[in-house]
Chain A
Amino acid sequence: MATPHFTVHQPATLEEALDLLGRHRASVKLLAGGTDLIMKLRGGAMSADHLVSLNRVGGLNRINYQDEDGLVLGAGARISDVAAHPDVRKHYPALAHACSVMATTQIRNMGTVAGNLANAAPSADTAAPLLAYRGSVVLVERGGRRQVKLEEFFKGPGLTVLEPMEILEAIRVPVPPGRAGSSYLRLSARSQVDIAAVGVAGFLALDLDGCMMGVRLACASVAPTPVRCPEAEAMLEGQRPDPRLLARAAVACVRAARPIDDLRATANYRRAMVQVLAGRVLQKCLSMAQGGAQ
């Protein structure tokens, strides 16, 4: 475990940052909050001769909500700021919750939601609620921009569709419909402050007949990437809420999980917990949707 050596570049604009990425393409990484990157570099899990810091790029830390366009989180938006933002708390409570319970205060003050996604840890806490809210990511390179749905973004542990010369510039989340409910529950088997051993997020809305629509369920820490649960979603879509149906959907969520045994939990336990948490998340979503205008 020798100390990693690298040069740190601190561009003031995104263009400069893209230039630097290109110039040092042979061995370069982007630095945002650094909470994962620095550990990976020190631990030898990753190496780079150059780091391009996004922390002095103007305008990147925006958190912006508009009733037409929904939510935009800049790549520099800190997890703690997202957690505390009134619009996020109002329209995306499951995301606000994920951002307020993950890691520690210090790490939330340093880390960014974009970094949490770009690291592509299977346990990324913000990924499951953003999947449930139909989030997408805006990727920029010198040639231009593209928008990728979050469910198409993750490729494996630590792997995404990001090209080497691309920067995750922002996260976009559409405006949720009215009469909707959403929730994120995480569980770590030992302590309150922990990497989630299992996380489940859900979203659903009710139509005028009281049938569920736009149902989304997503899990973290139970597969190589954060995953959606399409089978469970399909079972619920267009149906009237019924406790037995919700329970069956929770069981179906387990089939989306491909968990492993690791330090934090066994695969068996994770599977069982996906069902428990999915059941609770659906209940919570439903009562929120039934309870109010949100």
Chain B
Amino acid sequence: MAKQTIEITVNGDRYEVAIDPWRSLAEVLREDLRLTGTKIGCNQGDCGACTVLINGRSVSSCLTLAVEAHQREVTTIEGLAKSPQELHPIQEAFVEKGAVQCGFCTGGMIMSAKQLLDKNPQPTETEIRQGLSGNLCRCTGYNKIVEAIGDAARRLAPAGEGK
């Protein structure tokens, strides 16, 4: 069976790759584009470590066929910080609040947090917990992650809003 050529924009960079149509977006990101920040924890859509944004929506990249991302905009964990010096506020909050331990779930967790805050800039604790329910973490017990996202929401709020 023939390979299909896809064009995808990942973190603002355009790529053209010829791939087997059955391969997942997670595999193509990791193996072809060498963007290994997207992790495969279960390859079954249950753990969330492979979460990326496609046109701004969070998806499990292990269950997404790469061909379905053709001509779409993909954002991975590598694309979130403006520069190595300037982290995204969610990333800063994760660092400072101790929301990272082994780090394997972290990238996917942050992408889910990004999706959540994009849709709901001032979430309640319950809403944060719901927003993270597709991302498993075995190290932290989630509390520091929840705290970090609350903190990031405050950092992201325009002056005068939130608290």
Please determine whether chains A and B interact with each other in the same assembly.
yes
A interface with B by C-beta (< 8 Å): 3-8, 10, 31, 34-35, 38-39, 41, 51, 53, 55, 80, 103-107, 109-110, 192-193
In the complex, what distance in Å separates the CA atom of A271 from the CA atom of B67?
Answer: 44
Residues B125-146 near A (CB distance < 8 A): 130-131, 133-135
**Pick the contact of B64 from A4, A34, A104 — CB < 8 Å?**
A34
Which A residue's beta carbon lies closest to that of B71?
A56
B75 at the A/B interface (Cβ < 8 Å)? no
Beta-carbon contact of A34 and B133 below 8 Å: no
Contacts of A38 in B (CB 8 A): 24, 63, 65
Q: Provide the bound-state CA to CA distance between A6 and B24, in Å.
A: 12
State whether B65 touches A106 (Cβ < 8 A).
no
The CA-CA distance from A117 to B68 in the complex, in Å, is 22
Known: A8-B4, A105-B133. 13 other contacts (CB 8 A): A5-B20, A6-B1, A8-B65, A53-B68, A80-B57, A106-B51, A106-B58, A106-B59, A107-B60, A109-B115, A110-B64, A193-B133, A193-B134
Size bracket, chain B contacts: 20 to 34
Q: Which residues of A contact B5 (CB under 8 A)?
A: none
Q: Give A109 to B46 CA distance when docked, in angstroms.
A: 14
Q: Which residues of A contact B20 (CB under 8 A)?
A: 5
A10–B67 CB distance below 8 A: yes
Interface residues of B (CB under 8 A from A): 1-2, 4, 20-22, 24, 44-46, 48, 51, 57-60, 63-65, 67-68, 70, 112, 115-116, 130-131, 133-135
**Complex contact A192–B44 (CB within 8 A):** no
User: Distance (Å) between the CB of B123 and the closest chain A CB?
Assistant: 12
Contacts of B70 in A (CB 8 A): 10
On chain B, the residues within 8 Å of A3 by CB distance are 22
- Contact between chains at A39 and B21 (CB < 8 Å): no
Judging by beta carbons under 8 Å apart, are B48 and A35 in contact?
no
- Contact: A106 with B60, CB < 8 Å? yes
B63 touches A105 (CB 8 A): no
Interface core residue of B59, B63, B67, B134 (most chain A CB under 10 Å) = B63
Ordered by A's residue number, 7 sampled pairs between the chains whose C-beta atoms are within 8 Å are A10-B68, A53-B68, A105-B133, A106-B58, A106-B112, A110-B60, A193-B134
Q: Give every chain A residue within 8 A of B44 (Cβ-Cβ).
A: 39
Q: Give bound CA distance, A8 to B44, whole Å.
A: 20
Known: A6-B21, A106-B112, A107-B134. A34 touches B1 (CB 8 A): no
Query: How long is the Cα–Cα vector from A6 to B134 in the complex, in angstroms?
Result: 28
A106, B48: Cβ atoms closer than 8 Å: yes
A34 in contact with B131 (CB, 8 Å)? no
> Are A39 and B63 in touch, CB under 8 angstroms?
yes
Chain A nearest CB: distance from B5 CB in Å? 12
> Which one of B21, B57, B68, B133 contacts A55 once the chains associate, using CB atoms below 8 Å?
B68
